[in-house]
Amino acid sequence: MSLRIVVCVKYVPDATGDRHFADDLTVDREDVDGLLSELDEYAVEQALQIAEGRRQGGDDAEVTVLTVGPEDAKDALRKALSMGADKAVHVEDDDLHGTDVIGTSLVLAKAVEKTGYDLVVCGMASTDGTMGVLPALLSERLGVPQVTLLSEVSVEDGKVTGRRDGDAATEQLEAALPAVVSVTDQSGEARYPSFKGIMAAKKKPVQSLDLDDLDIDADEVGLGGSWTKVDDAAERPARTAGTIVKDEGEGAKQLAEFLAGQKFI
Ligand SMILES: Cc1cc2nc3c(=O)[nH]c(=O)nc-3n(C[C@H](O)[C@H](O)[C@H](O)COP(=O)(O)OP(=O)(O)OC[C@H]3O[C@@H](n4cnc5c(N)ncnc54)[C@H](O)[C@@H]3O)c2cc1C
């Protein structure tokens, strides 16, 4: 029987470029370069490895990548498809503007259910919001177990198993499928798309869904439906030039005074 894996991938503003807030204090996602969140590349990699293992064992598997995001989020889907995913689902709707993590989890849960799944794989956190809570919210909405922050993951006999490395202990975890997992950046290097993969991705199906397709009312999402609200935001001040201390015999003293003044010592 085919194992249906859905990987949640997020399109995020490129952290090396200029990032801004829009007038309504949401992150400006329209006028900035974006990319597939690097932490989600690990999720795609683990999903591909699970699918490849199944196929080698004579079983079938299908990897669908799913994003909720603006038009340009298709770039993130294309990258995941060029890595080897089989198909993609893009949820886009003007009414999603301003949706917080609670709303995003609703949209993702409905899209995952519509797609059909045995296993949902997420990254450990996005590289812009970095809350790391979405996988837990998603499992709650779907009513299935969550096994999060795995640095090793495998699927066998209708179960997902994995290793979670914590500060104080290493845990070996398992859950019956269907389930939601998240994987860390310690789970194994993500592959680079090959030229063949990039060409093949152009022909792979990308399904577009909007809120109507998912039976979600506009007032459940967007700024109006969000449980959280940004009251104020200010750009980080530009870096000022550092202080250069010329050592004329008093260098060490001046250095110590500087560190003490900054409360480092
Ligand atoms: C167009 C748009 C506008 C938004 N506006 C706001 C806003 O105004 N205020 C606000 O609080 N939030 C907003 N969001 C939602 C926010 O960017 C996050 O998607 C959401 O809050 C999840 O939080 P996080 O990024 O910290 O996820 P984390 O919990 O850190 O993410 C963990 C994992 O969940 C998955 N994931 C997270 N987000 C997505 C996604 N969008 N699609 C697919 N998989 C995902 C990934 O696998 C990721 O690695 C907006 C999102 C979009 C796309």
- Residue of 77, 7, 87 whose CA lies nearest to 42: 7
Ligand 1 contact via 93 beta carbon (within 6 Å) = no
> Does the CB atom of residue 133 touch ligand 1 within 6 A?
yes
Over residues 234-258, the mean pLDDT reads 87
pTM for this model (two decimals): 0.90
Render 30-83 in DSSP notation, one character per residue: SSS-EEE-HHHHHHHHHHHHHHHHHHHTT--EEEEEEEE--GGGHHHHHHHHHH
pLDDT digits (tens, 9 = 90+) for 232-244: 988 888 888 888 8
pLDDT at position 234: 84
User: Does residue 68's CB lie within 6 angstroms of at least one atom of ligand 1?
Assistant: yes
Hey, what CATH topology would domain 2-225 get? Rossmann fold (3.40.50)
Amino acid 174: pLDDT: 97
Express each pLDDT in 42-99 by its tens digit. 999 999 999 999 999 999 999 999 999 999 999 999 999 999 999 999 999 999 999 9
* Comparison of pLDDT for 247 and 61, the residue scoring more: 61
Q: In whole angstroms, what is the distance from residue 90 CA to residue 73 CA? A: 8
Q: What does the pLDDT average to over 9-15? A: 92
| C-alpha of residue 101 to centroid of ligand 1, in Å | 6
**Which residue CA neighbors atom 32 of ligand 1 most closely?**
125
Mutate to test the pocket of ligand 1, among 5, 6, 10 (most ligand atoms within 8 A of CB): 10
DSSP string, 134-190: HHHHHHHHHT--EEEEESEEEEETTEEEEEEE-SS-EEEEEEESSEEEEE-TTS-PP
Mutate which of 6, 63, 99, 180 for ligand 1 pocket (most atoms within 8 A of beta carbon): 99
More confidently predicted of 165 and 24: 165
Residue 87 confidence (pLDDT): 98
CA of 196 to the centre of ligand 1 (A): 31
**For residues 17 and 148, which has the higher predicted lDDT (pLDDT)?**
148
What's the Cα-to-Cα distance from 259 to each of 41, 131, 241, 246, rounded to whole Å? 40, 33, 17, 16
Domain ranges of the chain: 2-225
Strand partners, 34: 13
The position carrying tokens 């709650």 is: 140
Q: What is the mean pLDDT of the chain?
A: 94
Ligand 1 center from residue 10 Cα (angstroms): 7
221 lines ligand 1 (CB under 6 A): no
